[in-house]
Structure 1
Amino acid sequence: MHKRMDVESLQNVGRRRGRCMDVFLVMSIIFLFVAVAAVAAGGVMVVIELRSKIEVMRPSFGHDTPAKQTGDTSAPAYKMQNFASLDANTSKLKNSTMQWAAVEYGEGNSVGSHFDFDSRHHSLKPKKEGHYFMYLDLVLTCTSYQCKAGVLTVSLGDKLTCSVQLPEEAESPVSRKCWTVERMDGQTPLVAQMTVPQGGLENWKLELKGSKLGMFLVD
């Protein structure tokens, strides 16, 4: 009789321990799920914040927006003096200084007042010392059924170098986006220098629409 009771008591203890383990496992899974959800939510918030900052800093030349229509000239998106954007002005690929043009819109253009753009020498100079986000967008098209393969390189002073590998055949445009953040002294102008391989890049051309040089002040 006593032995049977001892066995039953041990079984009860075992069942209680089993239930405790089950509860522990369930709580651990719930905690892990909550932790993962929190991390994911935090990541989403960071992405949203970064996207909102980029949208605020990115100029939209030639387009009215609600803030502009209401006359809110103090909004950061409309302090265009810290932005500069230039479009490519020639399609020819050769060893040369790249030619650029400001985008005209309304009574102004796409070069903010904190920049000097020399349209004769095709140089762009930030007037203020600080860190600048600078980028090059290059779009190229093969104008024949076969083009000469090679590497096109565009260097923005000693701050940014962008290289594009061009194939012999390309049914669609070849594009390349390059960017960096560099400190500028507020005195040195930047010139984009194009370099092509020996013998040139026959039947390739630079698309004026989409090929850009841009900068904006980070801090």
Structure 2
Amino acid sequence: MSVSPDVESQSSGARSRSRCLDTFLTVSVIALFIMFIVALAAALLFVKHIESEMNARTTQDSDGQKGPLEMVAPGAAYKMQNFAYLRATNSQLKENVMEWESIPYGKGQSIGSMYSYEKNQRVLNVNEAGSYFLYVQLTFSCTHICPAGQFTTSFYNQDNKKQLTCTVSLPKMPDMNGSLPVSRTCWHVITLPEQKSRLLAKTEFSEQTLNNWKLDLNDSGFGMFLVDRLGAA
């Protein structure tokens, strides 16, 4: 029995529509991926910009010259209320809750009004619900003969759920000749659904000790900034 031309044309049309739909979905996924990468690249550039301003502010000469906060665009104050940066304060590598501190920035500190840091509990309070870009940079140096191992820092919220984990592989250093710092930066976009959220960082090692490895305080810290408020129009 022969197939009628109408049935053949319908089948061909269905296949054509299916191919068009597959192509559309594929292109849409690729476009969304590219947009995501571009947004993250812009976020990283913004983080580096703010960090460089804060580092310059901490090394400002006491000659009465204006610091970076006074010289940047008027929108900097708005940006800073959404931004927080804290620097590591203990160079010793221990399995514990990490210690941080804010640094001078303009007439205040490197924590915007949306945040507060509890030094005794080593907790950063985040006062608004939303999506945040969270990153951490860890830099290590070897002071003598250093063993190989892994150092991991994980950020937890108030429900003890991991928001970001960063693991640094430290090589064996038989001596100090020619040894270079070991550094890694990790980031993630996290969602904090509650108006009052808390973040703290805990450390763990692959080895029992990492003798003679030290955390470089000037190049180790974490920061975050608001990407999108939950419920925002």
Give CA-to-partner distance per residue, 1:19-41, whole Å, 9 cap, x none: xxxxxxxxxxxxxxxxxxxxxxx
1:27-42 equivalences under 5 Å are none
Q: State whether structure 2 residue 189 is matched by structure 1 residue 190.
A: no
> Partner residue of 1:117?
117
Matched residue type, 2:104: E
> Partner residue of 1:155?
154
Matched residue type, 1:104: P
> Partner residue of 1:216?
225
What is the SS of the residue equivalent to 1:113?
coil
Q: CA deviation at 1:207?
A: 0.5
CA, structure 1 residues 53+96, in 2 after alignment: closer, same or farther (shift >3 Å)? closer
CA contact (8 A) 1:125 1:186 kept: no
CA contact (8 A) 1:154 1:194 kept: yes
Give CA-to-partner distance per residue, 1:75-128, whole Å, 9 cap, x none: 2x3311100000000001011110001001332000000012112211112111
Q: Which moved more, 1:81-90 or 1:192-201?
A: 192-201
Q: CA deviation at 1:192?
A: 0.5
TM-score (normalizing by structure 2): 0.65
CA, structure 1 residues 188+51, in 2 after alignment: closer, same or farther (shift >3 Å)? closer
1:193-204 equivalences under 5 Å are 193-204=202-213
Structure 2 unaligned regions, length at least 5: 1-33, 58-66, 157-161, 229-233
Partner Cα separation in structure 2 for residue 198 and residue 187 of structure 1: 36
> Partner residue of 1:7?
none
CA, structure 1 residues 53+203, in 2 after alignment: closer, same or farther (shift >3 Å)? closer
Partner Cα separation in structure 2 for residue 56 and residue 91 of structure 1: 27
Matched residue type, 2:151: L
Partner Cα separation in structure 2 for residue 52 and residue 147 of structure 1: 37
CA, structure 1 residues 127+153, in 2 after alignment: closer, same or farther (shift >3 Å)? same
CA, structure 1 residues 69+147, in 2 after alignment: closer, same or farther (shift >3 Å)? closer
CA contact (8 A) 1:82 1:217 kept: yes
Partner Cα separation in structure 1 for residue 43 and residue 138 of structure 2: 24
CA contact (8 A) 2:150 2:207 kept: no
